[in-house]
């Protein structure tokens, strides 16, 4: 599983012109499900999102997590994170999980974050979405549950 997380002041996602998810200060998380991902992968990603210390403390140092600041998380499904652009000019999505399996794990990431006590909003799986955000920093990280395999 791969996620790109951004520290944001606010973020929202719309489908067909209607806002389906919106947060204030927190994390915008784009999540891609890879073939072979299991419970351990979604637990790794959700735990990192909830506990990664990327928010400033009173001295401006990155010492606080989204949980520590009472922030929210907007989770967006994004299979293109698994795109391979090394050959040719068209990305290959062979590493991306099939939609049925991916949807289950994507939704479970949101559930796991809620279990961490976070307010979580989501996009709409397989929909064409418009995402708006006000990045804070910008601060952006890439998380991979199977790095080094």
Helix (H) or strand (E) holding 39: helix 39-51
Which tens digits make up the pLDDT trace of 41-85? 999 999 999 999 999 999 999 999 999 999 999 999 999 999 999
CA distance 82 to 46: 18
Q: Which CATH architecture has domain 2-144?
A: 3-Layer(bba) Sandwich (3.50)
Confidence at residue 148, expressed as pLDDT on a 0 to 100 scale: 52
In the predicted structure, residue 124 carries a pLDDT above the cut 90: yes
List, for residues 29-44, the tens digit of each pLDDT value. 999 999 999 999 999 9
Banded model confidence at residue 146, pLDDT cuts 50, 70, 90: confident
pLDDT exceeds cutoff 70 at 11: yes
Residue ranges of domains in the chain: 2-144
Any idea which residues carry the catalytic annotation? 78-80
Helix (H), strand (E) at residue 41: helix 39-51
């Amino acid at each position: 599983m791969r996620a790109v997380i951004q520290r944001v002041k606010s973020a929202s996602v719309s489908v067909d012109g209607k806002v389906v998810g919106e947060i204030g200060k927190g994390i915008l998380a784009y999540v891609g499900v890879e073939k072979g991902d299991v419970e351990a992968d979604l637990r790794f990603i959700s735990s990192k999102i909830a506990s990664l210390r990327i928010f400033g403390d009173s001295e401006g140092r990155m010492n606080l997590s989204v949980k520590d600041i009472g922030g929210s998380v907007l989770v967006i499904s994004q299979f293109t994170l698994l795109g391979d652009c090394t050959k040719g000019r068209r990305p290959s999505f062979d590493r991306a999980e099939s939609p049925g399996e991916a949807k289950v794990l994507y939704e479970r990431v949101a559930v796991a974050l809620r279990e961490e006590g976070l307010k979580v909003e989501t996009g709409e799986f397989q929909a064409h979405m418009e995402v708006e955000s006000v990045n804070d920093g910008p601060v952006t990280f890439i998380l991979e549950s199977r790095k080094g395999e």
